[in-house]
Each structure stands twice: as structure tokens, then as C-alpha cells.
Structure 1
């Protein structure tokens, strides 16, 4: 175990997470493949090894710092990009049944390669827009936990992600700096999509690598049939109270 792995394991142990040698090997393979593929397609602007472990791997696992993952069985990671946070969570909690949704076919190709290289089972990679995937009967109202990491503003994310969560399931939006304005703007979308804000968890990445906030939302009922709207519309016309002009 080298210094990067020692530091990573120590940081996780501070959150009661014990990482095994095989899991460290999987993270290292993930890192090497990420950097290699990044040379031919844009996956990440972060390639320095220690920073990948902190800003991608540790950051992804931060979802598990405040909630137990052992009652959680099914996870949907929406707009996963290079696999964050879904793949690190799957490495750390092998029992998870993970579904990744991403709109770019090249990224799905990378993720399928990673799943094979790491020997992961119970991972499904779906190529498509979230607005379309959420209409599939096998994905709609179906997951214990839905995640999204720095994809869009919260009122947009709510419409893209909440349709995947089951009733009483959770949606965690992973954000950087103080998201209070986003949360205020998303109040209408939460009511409209049958969900409620549970808490906001502030985090500081180790070695002063940045501020993070995890927005935790509980789904209180099935998604109304009209949501999500057709592809592109949630981003173009986010859900908000329309003010009439007289």
C-alpha cells in the first residue's frame, strides 16, 4: 500500500468505512483507465493521482458518510459522466444494484469497459436522456436511492432524477458551494414532483480541496404522469411558479 492508498484508507476510516485490498486495487485500475481513456475523450479535467482519489473517489463516497448503505439495494446514478458517484459506491458497497444513465454513447462505452475491467456485477449502463429513461417502466418509481453530481441546477435535477426514485426513496444532489439559493428556487418543483427536502449536509474535502454540500430529498409519492417533460424542456423551462402580469 503506497502513500496515496494509505491516506485514502485513513480518510475513509474516519467515516467508519473499512476498505479492503481488493477494493483499493479496483480503485487503482479505475484511476489508470480513467487517465488512459481521458487522452482520447473528455472525461475529466482532473488527472493527478492524489487529486483523483480525493476529488472523484472520496467525494463520490461522501454520500455514504451520513447514511447507511446496507438497507439500500438499488441505486440510479443520473448523468454519471465518468462514473461518479455510482462506480465508487459500487466498489465500496458490492451488494448495490447500480443503474447508470448517461446521454453520451462514448461515455457509456467507457463505463461498460470499467465495469468489465473491475469485475463488477449488477451494473446496468443505459444510454439515453434522463427524460426518456425515466419513462421506461423498469426504471420509473423504482430505486431506493438516486444520485446526481454537479449536473444542473436543483429545480432541473428534481425533474430529471426524482421520477427514478420509489416512494419514500431518496435523491441526493451533490453540489459544491452554498446551494441555498438553488434550494429556494426549487421549492415549487419539490411540491410538484411529490418530494420534500430532508436535510443539507455540508462537507469539506481533505487537504482544503473544496467545499461540498449534499442535498437530501425524500420522495413522498409517485411521480405525476406528466413528468418528466420531453427531452430538453426541463433545462430550457425549469419548473417554477409562473407570475402573471396584468
Structure 2
């Protein structure tokens, strides 16, 4: 399904990733094949060509590891994970990490359970909305990192994602190059966060912006609000 191993190695090396090996290739190839197969019955992705899956899903998910300092056995919740990006490819490269996959669509959670079984990957699967799950004691401020690769603006994503992160942890957002960072600073502060770093880079000629938000204090109990309030009156 994926391009051959040598070509994949070359693509990863373009982005400074030199620890791609046959084991990782095998897992990603299984991932790609199952993604395309399952996509016929559940809408998971519009990206189905082999090289596009390699670059726009796998490499896009893994390159941020170059710019992040993630301690061994850190816990990560992927909010609105969809087909498992970025956390499942990250887990392939960092098997020590503890990942939790959160999505509001049960059909996607079913796919992810089957996928992780095929890949022999341990993960926790949570079906629900972020604004509901983050109010639950077992998930609120329990993670070292939360991450999201989503189209919502940074203010909105911060309200969904920061409540999951413990003080001292970080929220990681994978955004496009034109993401307005400054307008989200007020919301980030209100939610107990602090803008730590913004990294701009390119994947296959397309701009990317990696935003790191440090959790410096507890999120006030009233956040996140329900989705209607978040949409109607962003922070």
C-alpha cells in the first residue's frame, strides 16, 4: 500500500527523521491498508493515495516530535482523534507513551480499536464529546499532554483541550500557517495556560504551525462550557 521502504525512508529523512525502520514501516503499511479499506464504510479520510497517506498523515503526525520535549512514559490524550492522527503514528515512533484516543463518533472508536489490535498497540479509547469527558474526575487534568489536529481556532481548541492537562503539562495544537495566535492569548490565560512556543515549518511545500501551550494553573471548574456556548460566544 505505502511506497516501498527505501522511498519511505527518503521521505522521512527529508524532515530530519532518521529512526524510521522496517518495524515502523510494517505497522504504518498495515495502518494505511486498513484505513483505506475501512474508509469504504466509514468516512475517515479524503486522503487515500499511498504517498499522500505517507506524507499528509504519517509524516505530518510525526514531524512535531522533533520540536517537542516529551518525557518517557508520558500520557497523551488525542482530542477529536478521528482516524488516529496524530497520536497513533506518534505511538509507533514512541511506544513508551500512553495514549488515549477520544472521539465523539462511536464508528471511529470502533475503527481505532480494530486498528490498534492489528498494530499490537496499547491505547485507551473514549467515546464522547471533549466538553463532557473533561468534566469527569478520571480525565480532568490527568494528562501530561493533550493534542489536536483540528480546524477549529486556537481559542476554541484550548477550551476543549486544556482541561485535560495537568499543571506542568502542555496542550499541543497542529495548525495551518495562518493560524491567529495572538487572538487566543486571552482565552489561554483564562483556562490556566500560557503560550510557550510557536514553530513554523513545511510538509511537502505546505506551511504548518505547531503551537505549544503550557498549563501553569488549574482550569476554572466552569470550563469547558457546552458546545453551543463555545460556538456562540468564543472566549
Matched, 1:214 2:215: no
Aligned equivalent of 1:160:
160
Is the 1:69–1:93 Cα contact (8 Å) retained in structure 2? no
Change (3 A) 1:238 1:18: same
Change (3 A) 1:167 1:231: same
> What is the aligned residue count?
233
- Secondary structure of 2:168's aligned partner: strand
Q: Deviations over 1:178-223 (max 9, x none)?
A: 21xx2122121011101111111111113x2x11111111010111
Match among 221, 226, 229 for residue 230 of structure 1: 226
Aligned equivalent of 1:28:
29
After superposition, residues 44-83 of structure 1 pair within 5 angstroms as: 44-71=45-72, 73-83=74-84
Aligned equivalent of 1:204:
202
- Secondary structure of 2:68's aligned partner: coil
- Secondary structure of 2:81's aligned partner: coil
- Secondary structure of 1:186's aligned partner: helix
Aligned equivalent of 1:172:
172
- Secondary structure of 2:213's aligned partner: strand
- Give the aligned CA root-mean-square deviation in angstroms: 1.6
Aligned equivalent of 1:138:
138
Change (3 A) 1:166 1:41: same
Is the 1:160–1:234 Cα contact (8 Å) retained in structure 2? no
TM-score, length basis structure 2: 0.93
Specify every segment of 5 or more residues in structure 2 that has no aligned partner in the other structure, as ranges.
none
Aligned equivalent of 1:8:
8
How far has the Cα of 1:176 moved from its partner?
A: 1.4
How far has the Cα of 1:16 moved from its partner?
A: 4.6
- Secondary structure of 1:95's aligned partner: coil
Structure 2: distance between partners of 1:63 and 1:223: 25
Is the 2:130–2:161 Cα contact (8 Å) retained in structure 1? yes
TM-score, length basis structure 1: 0.89
Q: Deviations over 1:144-174 (max 9, x none)?
A: 1111002411110000000011111111111
- Secondary structure of 1:224's aligned partner: coil
Specify every segment of 5 or more residues in structure 1 that has no aligned partner in the other structure, as ranges.
240-246
Runs of 4+ off more than 4 Å: none
